[in-house]
Amino acid sequence: MSPHDFAHVPLSWHPARADLAGGPVYLALAAALERDITSGRLPPGTRLPPQRELADDLELNFTTVTRAFDLCRAKGLIYGVVGRGTFVASLPGVNEEAVRTAVDLGVVQGFPGLGARAVVEAARTVLARDSAERLFSYGERDGTERVREAGRRWLARVGVEASTRHIAVFPGVQSVLSIALLSLFRVGEALAVDEFTYGNLIRLARMAKIRLVPVRGDAEGMLPEALEEAARADGVRGVFLMPACANPTTRTMRGARRDALAQVARARDLFVLEDDAQLGPEAESPLQARIPERTVYLAGTSRLLAAGLRATFAVVPASLCARLLAALHSTAIKASALDAEILGELILDGAAETLLERKRAAARRANAVFDAVFGLAGTADDVRLFRTLPLPGTAGRGQEIERALRAHGIEVFHSDRFRVGTAPADSFLRISVSNARSEKTLASHLRALARKLKGGAPGDAPSASRFRTET
């Protein structure tokens, strides 16, 4: 018997190995799980085997099982309960075609069609150079001087003055965050975050076994006195902040709030992870300008320029540079040299700024559409890439609501995805306004969402077909 044989363990689900043959295994596994759920073999409420046990039983990589479960979770077929496990969801009235073709108002893509031509032209320029061959070797792991100079100029536009010695190129914001968690924190240490924070950070912290401590906030974001309390009572070692249009709440901090949080971070010797990737231009300088010696500044470019370019800039204090770069070299080795050079070309030849202006104009129009559909009083210079819509009384039912909307062809994200802890009672939808290719299409999608939100009778609970809320 194999040491990984779980034949003696009564697993609640055990697909046949023959069903996993052909094509990527994670897709086959996801398809097998979906078939068993939709056929009724796995009824709603069934507790699925722990992913690691299932991986061992099937002699698969743990990541393979995780990817399969993630696909099924995205379809609303399964859901997780912290501390209890993963369960089969109830799916009354699901329209599979609607799910497959759902309008994407969830993932924030940042008007992807606008940047394609500029990226292609920059790529052609880069590949036409005599030095193009070096892009396909390891080369300079922290980024070439040319690319880091581009980073310096890119950062200067938002008030970050940094030497190229302290600018490194990473394979995206996700990479910077994961590397920071791995290199700056020990297992079990705590990171302070907003009560609603970046969803991928929640998952990264869980994998790195870093505790996330939710900190109270107001309309401007995290409260300095609450951060002070968390540092004193919960022993937090660092704080993650999104001062400009925080994801998912869209809250923006004024200068005084940023000053006060910087003071707490300095007094409590906290690392600051600052994610600052908005269309702007920002009226306030980032926290990095206030506390550069303790701040790892993430200058994300995916939403602003092109999501497919897996390269971004980070400003790293001298005292932390060696640790973060060592972690970068140990995990990803380096950012893609080709992507980094394309990014640098976009910035240095002025195409990046032109693209930003085009996206700002598109964002203004998209936000005006959102305000018109939902009867809100907007501003003429609103360049947010996503918006929030209150959905009171639905905390803890986010997956149910997402499934209900997805079954009717609308993909949105509920605030439960972003919640840390259980304290906040508010609940809302985060809605991307930067995915549709035209204002007409966006308006049509938002009106469809509005109809679903306003359906039903007063007091009706969310269901698979309709639910009611205040807008």
Q: Above 70 in pLDDT, residue 470?
A: no
Residue 427's CB is within 10 A of a number of other CB atoms, namely 21
CA angle at 271 for the pair 267 and 277, rounded to the nearest 5°: 120
Residue 229 shares a structural domain with residue 372: no
- 363 lies in some domain: yes
Q: Does any domain span residue 464?
A: no
CA separation for the pair 199, 419 (Å, rounded) = 8
283-298 per-position pLDDT tens digit: 789 999 999 999 999 9
Give the model confidence (pLDDT) of 392-432 as tens digits. Answer: 988 888 877 887 787 777 889 999 989 998 766 689 999 99
For residues 243 and 166, the answer to whether their CB atoms sit within 8 Å is: no
Residues 151 and 217 in one domain: yes
Whole-angstrom Cα distance, residue 222 to residue 214?
A: 9
Question: Does residue 97 fall inside a structural domain?
Answer: no
**CA separation for the pair 424, 196 (Å, rounded):** 8
Q: Is the residue at 413 inside a domain?
A: yes
- CATH number where 368 lies: 3.90.1150
Residue 463 in any domain: the answer is no
The domain that contains 65 carries what CATH number?
1.10.10.10
Q: Are residues 364 and 345 part of one domain?
A: no
219 and 120 housed in the same domain: yes
What pLDDT, on the 0 to 100 scale, is given for residue 330? 85
The pLDDT score that the predictor gives to residue 100 is 52
87/135 same-domain check? no
Q: Are residues 26 and 161 in the same domain?
A: no
Contact 382/363 with Cβ under 8 angstroms? yes
State yes or no: pLDDT of 366 exceeds 70: yes
* Contact status, residue 407 vs residue 93, Cβ threshold 8 Å: yes
Domain CATH for 295: 3.40.640.10
219 and 310: one domain? yes
Q: Which helix (H) or strand (E) holds 239?
A: strand 236-241
Compute the average pLDDT of residues 163-178.
90
Residue that finishes a domain, picked among 349, 370, 388 = 349
User: How many domains would you assign to the chain?
Assistant: 3
Torsion sign over Cα 324, 328, 334, 339:
negative
What is the C-alpha separation between 297 and 207, in angstroms, rounded? 22
End-to-end CA distance of the chain: 60
pLDDT value of position 9: 37
Minimum mean pLDDT range among 93-107, 118-132, 294-308: 93-107
Task: For residues 135 and 262, state if they share a domain.
Answer: yes
Q: Is the pLDDT of residue 349 over 90?
A: yes
Q: Indicate the DSSP class of residue 85.
A: E
Residue 4 lies in a domain: no
Percent of the chain predicted with pLDDT > 70:
91
Query: What pLDDT does 177 receive?
Result: 92
Amino acid at 147: V
Q: Are 144 and 290 within one domain? A: yes
Annotate 333-363 with DSSP letters as a single string.
SS--HHHHHHHHHHHHTSHHHHHHHHHHHHH
Query: Which of 320, 349, 378 delimits the end of a domain?
Result: 349
Judgement on whether residues 293 and 153 belong to the same structural domain of the protein: yes
Alpha-carbon distances, residue 408 vs 102, 192, 242, 321, 428 (angstroms): 7, 37, 33, 49, 19
C-alpha–C-alpha distance, residues 79 and 414, integer Å: 14
**Residue 38: domain span:** 17-91
Per-residue confidence (pLDDT) for residue 74, from 0 to 100: 86
Note whether 208 and 310 are same-domain residues.
yes
| pLDDT for position 236 | 94
- Which range has the worst mean pLDDT, 5-14, 64-73, 240-249, 453-462? 453-462
pLDDT at res. 98? 53
Minimum mean pLDDT range among 181-185, 237-241, 459-463: 459-463
Of 349, 373, 399, which marks where a domain is finished?
Answer: 349
Cβ-proximal residues to 39 (8 Å cutoff; 6+ apart), any chain: none
pLDDT tens digit string along 16-26?
888 888 789 99
- Least confident window among 84-98, 230-244, 279-293: 84-98
> What is the model's pLDDT at position 455?
61
Identify whether 11 is part of a domain. Answer: no
pLDDT digits (tens, 9 = 90+) for 367-401: 999 999 999 988 888 999 999 999 998 888 887 78
**SS3 state at 274:** strand
Q: What is the pLDDT of residue 454?
A: 80
Residue 389 sits in the same domain as residue 322: no
pLDDT digits 0-9 by tens, 311-328: 899 999 988 888 888 888
Give the pLDDT mean for 359-373: 95
Query: With pLDDT > 90 as the criterion, what percentage of the chain qualifies?
Result: 48
Among the residue ranges 93-107, 168-182, 326-340, the one predicted with the least confidence is 93-107
DSSP state of 47: B
Q: 1 lies in a domain? A: no
Band of residue 352 on the pLDDT scale cut at 50, 70, 90: very high
Mean residue pLDDT across the chain: 85
